[in-house]
Structure 1
Amino acid sequence: MKVGVLAVQGAFAEHEEILSQLGVDYIELRNGKDARQDFDGLILPGGESTTQGKLLRELDMFEPLKEKLVRGLPVLATCAGLILLAEEISNDTARYFGTLPVTVKRNAYGRQLGSFYTEEQFGDLGKVPMTFIRAPYVESVRAGVEILARVEQKIVGVRYKNQIGLSFHPELNDNRKIHQMFLASIALI
């Protein structure tokens, strides 16, 4: 198994460290050539969605990655990654991959000072640590989207087919359950 990690901006190194700890090979996706290689899953890390979206296009990665997502490539998208996947962004006119049928609100918890940590139920994994940094949340979901987690009535974790979208950063904590769930979804294909 090999996982592609978008490595142009944001918290990609933390995801790579977890993959290494779990014994999973990964490739850093930094340009179109990388994005066209074969890999079994994709991680879209947190960071700055506008910057990531711009770099995806400038570095010739947008189309090959979108094609892989449309074909069903398993993906774990955290924070900015969730925004990249979202079909709609309620407070922004930008659109990126649009493969996840949800409406997301960018920076929904405010600026950096609005960052916080909590532990909440996540699907059938039990309580998991959740670190929110200038995080979005999911305002609404469409048919077929499973809600995996809520914090204060706000949707912060969803799954749609092979796509897992999170408002928070599981890579910033010691709990590996979410990454293991993602890797298990790859193994099922």
Structure 2
Amino acid sequence: MTPSPDRPTIGVLALQGDVREHLAALTAAGANATSVRRPAELAAVDGIVLPGGESTTMDKLLHAFGLFEPLRERLAAGLPAYGSCAGMILLADRVQGATSDQGTLGGIDMTVRRNAFGRQVDSFEQDLLAPALGAGEDVAPLRAVFIRAPWVEQVGDGVEVLARTARRGSAAGEATAEGKIVAVRHGRLLATSFHPEIGGETRVHRLFVEMVRDALLPTQQQLTS
């Protein structure tokens, strides 16, 4: 089937995490959303979402389902991808706090600190100002949900920082977490520390759908020339 830039087919890696919520957000953002569990399903999508979960478990499941190498090859070939929370870790070139046998798909020139914001009990929500995500001074802020979330320690040249955390309170730990990078874009790759799919927030997914549409345009131009 010929890819359609108007309604691209975007897969959600369905091995762990908020798969149903990502599917709903992608559909609301104008995509044809589908689950991906097998290499044949991966081969049929125009873009891929890597949801939250537990990054070491997701790494093992990717290998168990025979998806790790095919997915890494498609990403290297230019497949657009969006990773949230654990998905951000999978897209990072470098990870602090990783286990000795933990691998990543890579693609974004950044260093991510695993579980940087703390344990499950340290989960929190915060309103973010992120103009590139449609959340600026004159519009509603982006409601971000952080659950055992990473943050980005360092980015390389070419990586665009889309959002940073604000200060949540006066406690020392909360002050330390101020100004941390929690959303980035590197070419056709997008990543957030937080879960926009929770609570019905679709602006991140709308940006990703537009990224996939843009990636399809050269293909469409070749088909019609």
TM-score (norm 2): 0.80
- 1:92-135 Cα deviation digits (max 9, x unpaired): 14221121110001111111111000111124312211000000
2:175 matches 1:149: no
- 1:9-47 Cα deviation digits (max 9, x unpaired): 111111011223334212211123322x22111100011
**What's the counterpart of residue 211 of structure 2?**
185
Deviation at 1:76, TM superposition (A): 1.0
2:161–2:184 CA contact under 8 A, matched in 1: yes
**What's the counterpart of residue 98 of structure 1?**
106
2:134 matches 1:128: no
**What's the counterpart of residue 18 of structure 1?**
25
**What's the counterpart of residue 34 of structure 2?**
27
Matches within 5 A, 1:36-75: 37-75=43-81
Distance 1:174 1:102 in 2: 28
Gapped runs of 5+ residues in structure 1?
Answer: none
1:83–1:136 CA contact under 8 A, matched in 2: yes
2:164 matches 1:164: no
2:53–2:85 CA contact under 8 A, matched in 1: yes
- Paired residue type of 1:147: V
The DSSP-based 3-state class of the residue aligned with 2:52 is: coil
Segments of 4+ moved more than 4 angstroms: none
The DSSP-based 3-state class of the residue aligned with 2:41 is: helix
> Which one has the largest radius of gyration?
2
1:87–1:95 CA contact under 8 A, matched in 2: no
Distance 1:18 1:81 in 2: 16
Distance 1:177 1:46 in 2: 17
> Structure 2 vs 1, CA of residues 165 and 22 (structure 1 numbering), >3 Å: closer, same or farther?
closer
**What's the counterpart of residue 138 of structure 2?**
none
> What CA RMSD, in Å, does the superposition of the two structures yield over aligned residues?
1.2
The DSSP-based 3-state class of the residue aligned with 1:64 is: helix
**What's the counterpart of residue 77 of structure 1?**
83
Matches within 5 A, 1:106-125: 106-124=114-132, 125=134
